[in-house]
Structure 1
């Protein structure tokens, strides 16, 4: 792929947009960002807050610790943390520097402020509106379709910003970039490493740090430690264990940042940590690791794009598939090995559901990465799932299109049922 071509530049833009740092689970941070921005526009400490959130946001905030708060959970905590933290310009990193004094300020604010929660109407799966009041003053912020995409701002009834609604279906479809597995592999093999080195170095540094933290200490269900204790420390186990450990740490209060993928820190950990672990085991050079990470990251983004940011379809599946593709490349695989790894993985674990952010995400990540590794070894041993095997269709892009349809349309009612089970 020519470095000066429009497609090459578009792929770079996708990576720069998607591989950004976040401090803690991204849904509570989005709420904190919304309240911080609304309070900043209001110009005063709000006395009352109303958070209107789509069911998928509520689902993902319900059971996860809000980072920097000393172990507190929930939408009210996230909203209060945003007010106390301020600095909305820091976006998904705004809670990173909360102090013990700030934690106490959050508790005090929760006692005195009125914070209402409502389920948002409309068809978007990611829809968040925060309204704040102080006396007769009022400010409102709406974030839609992704975690920092501010589409509406108003103050005292006067509209300050209004974005035109982009084409989407139930919040899932955005305008799709020119991604394909063939294009991803072309880009990954021909990229000038100088263009991606800084992005990928940060992903390696951040995501391995939280994985190591998860392995060292007691977080969540300690899936990583269970895997190593039960199955040994072969690279196939370590790749799963370290990714799971990073998720366990992140879901359960670890105050380390993560480089996300497709709006999710868990997916960011899953696409990177197993690939990094395999590269170390195989003695791959830095350049080969970078190219493997390009394959992994972009494959996951490609798979998620048709499904949408939030769904009943577990995003760990897309990320585990991406990791499998990156590992296939590290193991000497070319186009055929990589596309069959992708199809074999999707045929295996595409039924895993998302029931919110919490400790069991780590177990799902371990299963998805295992499926990605198995998908490669299946093809290496002459085995594959073929056209007509359930949702598998001839050609990798046709199978990916079926997965998008499954996650976006087929699991819509499943999503509603899950949300009703969790929040009533």
Structure 2
């Protein structure tokens, strides 16, 4: 629970817009394989030549989230080796999380050659942050090293032949300082502050990012509803009850994940470092805004609320864990739906509590097709939480992890996700990589 001193309105508005602009960035495909490709592209750029060999050390959560997902623009390839080699061969490091946007057929063919030659070695890095990627690229007797930690684009080391590149140490310190500053920003968030910002705040500084989130995430959602991507969770939902707004909200969120988890090359706007969370925080809000007849300005403000609530809930858990992050995003979407429906602050808070009390603790077993189904389940719980709250119903303090206040409930659920579920995270990875047989 935040203990920061209250901010004046102008300072709060600047802070909250800064958080939105930091979080709502574009990414092409699942952010974990993209982060691997970005690190490899930076390593090649540092090396100054195409590597003959890559060594990639990753945290368990990176391995878990890259194992089964399709690498975008790869022609259907999967896995860390494919992501790293494609990034090293044809990635544009200057494009960060859109690093693979410009790869072509020649790059795909060369990547396949290197995969066949076992040119990439992957190992599990232990005793590192949950989000950790180290790439060592070698060629011509030289070696380049790049390390990303804590956040998907947070480069903490870039070196050639063991010597940090000019300015890279300062740049790494700057990245760590920025990471610390981001954490301090997130700690300053409160549900009451977020609601007041959505109601009266100056959102102009974040308007472009919010507009882009609506535009890009709506487009990939439509793609997932139009074409047969993955398990087609969104299409399945929409075929069952098209006239039901709750079903449409779940379908539109799930469909975006159907597409992006299975290699769709369309960009998305992420939140909390995740495209799935960016879609979950956005599409149900868009759908309910239509139902309620909310103005476009009202939609933007509701979307700001949704994203900030997602960031607030997720900040207690951390970047990657065994706790499925779409639950955090669904809390944001549910809160925004209640807010658009004219709910009181107490009802908005109850929506968050009801959502966490229902689906808090859904496990993350990596990025893959079933993420779309988990999105559907989380959004369904958020909509139930909204309906309960609007009828004056809520789970009570002392029931499970529910505490006296919404902030205490968010913190308690976050503690379980960050600390309590850490052993679960380890065992999920062991089962996935075959280390544990069940």
Deviation at 1:4, TM superposition (A): 7.1
Cα distance in 1 for partners of 2:47, 2:106 equals 23
Cα distance in 1 for partners of 2:9, 2:382 equals 33
Deviation at 1:191, TM superposition (A): 2.4
1:75 aligns with 2:80: yes
Going from structure 1 to structure 2, the CA distance change for 1:2 and 1:347 (only over 3 Å counts) comes to closer
Cα distance in 2 for partners of 1:9, 1:123 equals 33
1:382 aligns with 2:406: no
Say which of 83, 90, 100 aligns to 1:95. Answer: 100
Contact 2:89 2:110 in 1 (8 A): yes
Aligned twin of 1:368: 378
Contact 1:47 1:113 in 2 (8 A): no
Aligned twin of 1:185: 195
1:11 aligns with 2:21: no
Cα distance in 2 for partners of 1:60, 1:271 equals 20
Worse overlay, 399-408 or 84-93: 84-93
* 1:37-76 superposed matches below 5 A: 37-76=42-81
Contact 2:46 2:144 in 1 (8 A): yes
Say which of 253, 261, 265 aligns to 2:275. Answer: 265
Cα distance in 2 for partners of 1:302, 1:243 equals 20
Worse overlay, 101-110 or 278-287: 101-110
Cα distance in 2 for partners of 1:396, 1:263 equals 24
Spell out, residue by residue over 1:301-325, the C-alpha distance to the aligned partner (whole angstroms, 9 max, x if none).
Answer: 0011110110000001101111001
Cα distance in 2 for partners of 1:187, 1:284 equals 17
Contact 1:40 1:86 in 2 (8 A): no
1:105 aligns with 2:110: yes
Going from structure 1 to structure 2, the CA distance change for 1:4 and 1:187 (only over 3 Å counts) comes to closer
Deviation at 1:6, TM superposition (A): 2.9
Cα distance in 1 for partners of 2:259, 2:249 equals 16
Aligned twin of 2:3: none
Aligned twin of 1:324: 334
Q: What TM-score does the superposition give when structure 1 sets the normalisation length?
A: 0.95
Spell out, residue by residue over 1:211-252, the C-alpha distance to the aligned partner (whole angstroms, 9 max, x if none).
Answer: 000000101111112212233431110000110011011101
Say which of 287, 292, 300 aligns to 1:282. Answer: 292
Going from structure 1 to structure 2, the CA distance change for 1:350 and 1:4 (only over 3 Å counts) comes to closer
Deviation at 1:336, TM superposition (A): 1.3
Say which of 297, 300, 303 aligns to 2:310. Answer: 300
Aligned twin of 1:138: 143
1:402 aligns with 2:422: no
Deviation at 1:112, TM superposition (A): 4.0
Deviation at 1:415, TM superposition (A): 0.2
Say which of 352, 357, 366 aligns to 1:356. Answer: 366
Contact 1:324 1:375 in 2 (8 A): yes
Deviation at 1:328, TM superposition (A): 0.7
Unpaired runs of 5+ residues, structure 1, are none
Secondary structure, counterpart of 1:5 in structure 2: helix
Spell out, residue by residue over 1:369-423, the C-alpha distance to the aligned partner (whole angstroms, 9 max, x if none).
Answer: 0111110111222211011011000111100110110100000000000000101
Cα distance in 1 for partners of 2:104, 2:147 equals 28
Contact 1:292 1:329 in 2 (8 A): yes
Q: What RMSD over aligned residues (CA atoms) do the two structures have, in Å?
A: 1.8
Spell out, residue by residue over 1:100-128, the C-alpha distance to the aligned partner (whole angstroms, 9 max, x if none).
Answer: 33322321232346210011121411111
Spell out, residue by residue over 1:112-145, the C-alpha distance to the aligned partner (whole angstroms, 9 max, x if none).
Answer: 4621001112141111100010121011010000
Aligned twin of 1:240: 250
Deviation at 1:330, TM superposition (A): 1.4
Q: What TM-score does the superposition give when structure 2 sets the normalisation length?
A: 0.92
Secondary structure, counterpart of 1:31 in structure 2: helix
Spell out, residue by residue over 1:158-195, the C-alpha distance to the aligned partner (whole angstroms, 9 max, x if none).
Answer: 1233335969xxx9x94444111011111111222422
Aligned twin of 1:223: 233
Cα distance in 2 for partners of 1:4, 1:379 equals 28
* 1:158-177 superposed matches below 5 A: 158-160=163-165, 161-162=168-169, 163-164=172-173, 174-175=183-184, 176-177=186-187
Unpaired runs of 5+ residues, structure 2, are 1-5
Contact 1:307 1:404 in 2 (8 A): yes
Cα distance in 1 for partners of 2:51, 2:18 equals 37
Secondary structure, counterpart of 2:138 in structure 1: strand
1:125 aligns with 2:130: yes
